[in-house]
Structure 1
Amino acid sequence: MQVELCALTNNNTWTMVPLPPSHHPINCKWIFKIKYNSNGTVEHYKAQLVAKGFTKCEGIDYKETFASIAKPIIMRCLLTIFVVQNWDLHQMEVQNTFLHGELFKEVKMHLPRGFHR
């Protein structure tokens, strides 16, 4: 959890400000995963902090959403190209990822439990 919080802070993911009385913040939650080695032993533990955006109402709190995903057909096409071209393919672990986009509205979120300013 500390690694995730440090990464979010270092990437200027948020700015802590006092909550204006007219705003209703969304909550957040931790998602925990265990990464295993091929032999079944634990490689490491992962924690990801996510906003509970599903608590918002379309047309009231937001107008549209977008989440990019890797579709299986795209992955199969890419793997086919690697095989045909005889290219090397390596797997890597990404500690955290960020959407590099512009938000045009402020999003107010409660601090995660146990987080101190």
Structure 2
Amino acid sequence: MALVAHFDLELHQMDVKTAFLNGDIDETICMVQPENFESGDPKNMVCKLTKSIYGLKQASRMLHETKRFLSKNFEMKDLGDASFVLGIQIQRDRSRDILGLSQRSYIDKVLKRFGMQDNKPGDTPVAKGDKFSLNQCPKNNLKVKEM
């Protein structure tokens, strides 16, 4: 994500419906560098692949070509611009060069599961820089109940 923000790259998601079938590759497979993304002498440089699916996030044309290729070879669903990854919301404001991550929906889901969705937020009694250790953990059942 840091590289996406730093280099202002496109960030898209595709869902591979049969990803579990696309495992490690036993054979040696090499590929030349993608056009317009060459580094050094392109004739002497190759990439050795170890997995069967790679996501390329370069120029817009390359992005669409990659999506077409993947969709032709795998059962895929194009999810467009990435907005959620593993329950974390991706918030992007390109005009201000901001790429933010939010776990608000996950927190709301946990609060709802425990019947706490209507609770009001409050300050957490932890100061910045506080250190925690196992020595602070309760040592018996009574101390656990007190906690």
TM-score by length of 1: 0.24
Pick 1 or 2: higher relative contact order, CA cutoff 8 A, min separation 6: 1
Larger fraction in helix? 2
TM-score (normalised: structure 2): 0.21
- Between Structure 1 and Structure 2, the one with more strand by share is 2
